[in-house]
Amino acid sequence: MGLMVPRLIARWGRGRVIRYAIIVMCIGIVVYTAPFGLAASLTGTAIVAGSGVTLIATVNAFIFAYQGPAGPAAITQANALAALFGFAVPLVIGTTTALAVGWRSGLWALIVALIVSEILRSRNEETPEVVRAEFPTESHPVREEKVQMPRPFWWSLSVVGLLLATEFTLTLWSADLLRERAGLGAAAAAASLAAVTGGMFLGRLYGSRLARTWNVDRLLTASILIALAGFTVAWLSTITWVILVSLFVVGLGLSVQWPIGVSRAVASSGGLIDKASGLSSVAAGAAGGVAPFILGALSDTIGLHFAFLIVPVLLTTALIVIIAKPVRSNEPIVG
């Protein structure tokens, strides 16, 4: 779906694509929660996934157009809010289940939230047209899908893929690392995910402030170094609290990598922000689908502990690309 986003935006505009994606996502949730067995669950999952990718890519482009030069900071703030909801949604579903209302009611609440958010967003639907001329990386009224992306963009896109591969690998496998290294049970090891996501939430909350004064390369470089430092301590330690604190530090480092990575890709796109946002979603999907399986395959041959060394390899490779292929603008994102 990420590849289709520029075509959809060219035909309908960002506002209408967001609206249609929300409608389709609501339909997907209804299908998923329908009591029709596995077929309905799989169909609903596919619908929600496709509309979700479309929504994320289009919202990223919408925020850049709406916020202008403050786009990177705004994207980071939006991701901080998303991380907060990542904590809240499981609690809502768990609460509805505990109250005998049923888990489906928790997902239906998401439909209400989507509709309310679209009503609020649509009030400012025309605002990006005013900001457009002031944002140098904004797209021109051309069919972006027919325009070739500049070479620097592909280097920036590779950074997005490498960083998202790290994030997916850690969020999916960190609990197993804690079980193996600290000897915790499955329930206790699940705290590792809370440590990573908690760090990501706080990092995005305060990272949005740094994004106002630091350029994207400087901020990404700092985030990678923080993540590498935290991972090194977590990988070497066998003490539970040390590993948890270290994973929290890793989360701080990972926090800004997706929003600022996408900002960097947009800045390298020659103004084709819709296409850049769509391709960034494709890179994220590919990273999430491949990297965790590579770690799993490696763990079968060399053990989980040593397989986790894929994390510093990914981070270091991303850092090398950032240093070797910097974005052109070295000025702060917002003066």
Contact between 269 and 239 (Cβ < 8 Å): no
| Token pair recorded at residue 26 | 């609501």
| Token pair recorded at residue 48 | 């929600």
pLDDT band, very low/low/confident/very high, at 132 (cuts 50, 70, 90): very low
Where along the chain do its domains lie? Answer: 5-124, 150-324
Looking at residue 330, its pLDDT comes to 40
Contact between 249 and 200 (Cβ < 8 Å): no
The answer, yes or no, to whether residue 97 has pLDDT greater than 60, is: yes
Q: How far apart are CA 97 and CA 103, in angstroms?
A: 5
Could you tell me which residue, 115 or 171, shows the higher pLDDT?
115
Looking at residue 129, its pLDDT comes to 43
The answer, yes or no, to whether residue 75 has pLDDT greater than 80, is: no
The answer, yes or no, to whether residue 16 has pLDDT greater than 80, is: yes
pLDDT band, very low/low/confident/very high, at 320 (cuts 50, 70, 90): very high
Contact between 326 and 217 (Cβ < 8 Å): yes
Looking at residue 142, its pLDDT comes to 47
The answer, yes or no, to whether residue 278 has pLDDT greater than 70, is: yes
User: How confident is the model over 27-49, as a mean pLDDT?
Assistant: 87
pLDDT band, very low/low/confident/very high, at 139 (cuts 50, 70, 90): very low
Looking at residue 315, its pLDDT comes to 94
| Token pair recorded at residue 67 | 């916020």
Burial of 140 (0-12, 13-18, 19+ CB in 10 A): exposed
Looking at residue 190, its pLDDT comes to 60
Region class of 102: left (phi > 0), else alpha (psi between -120 and 50), else beta: left
Looking at residue 59, its pLDDT comes to 80
pLDDT band, very low/low/confident/very high, at 222 (cuts 50, 70, 90): very high
pLDDT band, very low/low/confident/very high, at 134 (cuts 50, 70, 90): very low
**Any idea which fold 150-324 has?**
Growth Hormone; Chain: A; (1.20.1250)
- Cα angle: 20, vertex 30, 3; to 5 degrees: 40
pLDDT band, very low/low/confident/very high, at 199 (cuts 50, 70, 90): confident
The answer, yes or no, to whether residue 92 has pLDDT greater than 60, is: yes
Could you tell me which residue, 132 or 232, shows the higher pLDDT?
232
For 17-61, give the DSSP string. HHHHHHHHHHHHHHHHHSSS-HHHHHHHHHHHHHHHHHHHHHHHH
User: How confident is the model over 234-251, as a mean pLDDT?
Assistant: 88
Estimate to the nearest angstrom the gap between the alpha carbon of 226 and the chain centroid.
18
Looking at residue 189, its pLDDT comes to 60
User: Could you give the C-alpha distances from 157 to 122, 165, 233, in angstroms and in order?
Assistant: 30, 12, 29
Task: For 265-276, write each residue's pLDDT tens digit.
Answer: 888 888 788 888
